Structure 1
Amino acid sequence: MKSGDVLGEFVRQALAEGRDRADVTAALTDAGWSAREIEGALDRWAVSPGLPPVPRPSAYVSAREALLYGLLFIALANVVIYTVMLGFGIINRLLPDPTEIYYSGQGVLRWPIAALIAFLPLFLYLNHRANRRGDDQAARQRSLVRRWIASLVTLIAILALVCDLVTVLYVFLNGDLSSRFIAKVALVAIEGALVLAYCREELDG
């Protein structure tokens, strides 16, 4: 039997015998269990008068949710990337740099537009599916897949914002700030903030 199973079974028996949670915690602490392990074992059971310890639902992993949330955040990543690409192309046209040569072909903007036409409806559809499957809020909060993927995307968004800030500081120290550059870094910052807001809802929801 695994150590976690041994601990869980001991806590269940102790609570079934009417032992106080503080006494159980003290006994397990003296036996060498960590506070986190003890808290986790106690949280697995709810005590109701006249009933044996009632098990609380635990976190779960679902292959179907892994597919759903994996596709959802891949679609989100493509929407963000191609929105930035489209924004950069528009900024380059509105604020041209006379020292650089740009191709006037529409292909510079057509590719991100085509990608957004493909990925944006996919993202909206998958997000709708995820929200519909998340009607049971308690079950949604226990999805390890959703939390892990949302945490990974949050990490990437934070790193992107930090790199954006470092770039701004570097260019500022070089004295090369321009309106076009400021517009681009502002676009990246806005996209990163929107992603963080979206992922925060997923982590808290």
Structure 2
Amino acid sequence: MSGRDEIAEFVRTGLSAGQPADALAAALGSAGWSPTEVAAALDAWAPGPAGLPPVPRPRAYVSAREGFVYGLLFLILGCICWHLAMLGFKIVDQLMPDPTDRYGLLVRSMRWNIAVLIPTVPLFLWLNRRVARQSAGDPGRRRSLVRKWFAAITLLLASLALLGDLVAVVNALLEGELTGRFAAKALLIAVIGGLAFAYYRDELDDR
């Protein structure tokens, strides 16, 4: 039996015997359990109706099927963000060419980026709508650990992109190289990163 199972069994037995939560928390604390572990163990049980034992509260779960779905959503979102940024960079280069770049007047191909975005954007929207519909019909799906982990990774990458973008802008400003062309590209990265962050910001909510 793991430590988590042991503390859960102790709390269940204590609550079933009519012991107050404060007494159980004090006993666990004196045995070396951290306040976070004690709070989580006590929160895992709800008081049962008269004559019934404590009722277990819903817990997070792991599903291989959801791992595939959310993993696919994660990869497609990353692909969309990357190719959207590359396409935006090329549009900026065309609208505001660099006079010092001898290749700036050349028409750079955007077909590959567009070819990637055409199928991936509708696929992402369809998958996202499907997941949202399933979550609305079964709120328990929001407790998926796979869902939360992919959301956490996306938020981390989006935060790093926004931080890196800000550092690049500050550095260009200090060096006197903050041109309109550079600012447009930095703004594009900020918008894409912000949208990705906004998409997943509520996914870590335990409710």
Q: TM-score range by the shorter chain?
A: over 0.9
Structure 2: distance between partners of 1:74 and 1:62: 18
When normalised by structure 2's length, the TM-score is 0.93
Amino acid at match of 1:132: R
| Letter of the 1:3 counterpart | G
Paired position in structure 2 for 1:23: 23
Give me the TM-score of the superposition, normalised by structure 1.
0.94
2:47–2:53 contact (8 Å) kept in structure 1: yes
Mind listing any 5+ residue stretches in structure 1 that lack a counterpart? none
Shift of 1:40: 1.4
Shift of 1:130: 1.3
Give the equivalent residue in structure 2 for 1:59: 60
The equivalent of 1:75 in structure 2 is 76
Tell which has more relative contact order, 1 or 2 (C-alpha 8 A, sep 6+).
1
1:177 is matched by which residue type in structure 2? L
Partner Cα distance (1:36, 1:137) in 2: 29
Q: Secondary structure at the match of 2:136?
A: coil
| Most deviating of 181-190 and 45-54 | 45-54
Aligned residues: 204
Distance 1:39 1:138, change over 3 A: farther
SS of 1:134's partner is: helix
In the TM superposition, what whole-angstrom CA distance separates every residue of 1:166-205 from its partner, at most 9, and x where no partner exists?
1111111211111111101000001111111001033337
C-alpha separation in 2, matches of 1:113 and 1:35? 52
Q: Match for residue 102 of structure 1?
A: 104
- Give the superposition deviation at 1:103: 5.9
Is the deviation greater in 17-26 or in 1-10? 1-10
| SS at structure 1 position matched to 2:33 | coil
Structure 2: 5+ residue stretches without partners: none
The one-letter code of the counterpart of 1:119 is: T
CA RMSD in angstroms, aligned pairs only: 1.5
Q: How much has 1:136 moved relative to structure 2?
A: 4.4
Q: Distance in 1 between matches of 2:57 and 2:181?
A: 55
* Equivalent-residue separation in structure 1 for 2:4 and 2:202 (angstroms): 31
2:158–2:197 contact (8 Å) kept in structure 1: yes
> How high is the sequence identity, in percent, across the aligned residues?
49
The offset of 1:137, in angstroms, is: 5.6
1:201 is paired with a residue of what secondary structure?
coil
* 8 Å contact kept, 2:97–2:105: no
Q: Which residue of 2 aligns with 1:36?
A: 36
- The separation in 1 between residues aligned to 2:176 and 2:37, in whole angstroms, is 54
